[in-house]
């Protein structure tokens, strides 16, 4: 289970309950939001989809505890192209 909570503009907390519970702080600036969502989803939906993408590739225990959403692309270059599959 993935739960996304907005803390303030550009900062979100993500709680993942799977093999234990983990907490992650995510920053999302406007440029990255537009780049990855194409304004077709809310920031919370984008972050949720991004974590679904990550969980298909690694355990929640392996996901960084604090990062900017754009960092995902550094580890997984296919992220921008694959993301649309998770947003539908």
Sketch the domain layout of the chain as residue ranges: 2-87
CA distances from 76 to 21, 35, 42, 44 (A): 23, 16, 22, 20
pLDDT for residue 13: 98
Distance (Å, whole) CA 38 – CA 58: 26
Q: At CA 71, angle to CA 31 and CA 75, rounded to 5?
A: 140
Q: What is the pLDDT of residue 28?
A: 98
What digits encode the pLDDT tens for the residues 39-79?
789 999 999 999 999 999 999 999 999 999 999 999 999 99
Confidence (pLDDT) at 38? 80
Q: What confidence score (pLDDT) does residue 39 get?
A: 76
Supply the pTM of this predicted model.
0.94
């Amino acid at each position: 289970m993935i739960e996304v909570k907005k803390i303030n503009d550009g900062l979100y907390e993500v709680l993942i309950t799977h093999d234990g519970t983990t907490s992650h702080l995510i920053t999302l600036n406007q440029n990255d939001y537009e780049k990855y969502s194409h304004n077709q989803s809310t920031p919370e939906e984008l972050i949720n989809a991004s974590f679904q993408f990550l969980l298909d590739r690694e355990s929640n225990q392996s996901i960084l505890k604090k990062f900017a959403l754009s960092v995902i692309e550094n580890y997984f270059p296919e992220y921008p192209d694959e993301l649309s599959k998770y947003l539908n």
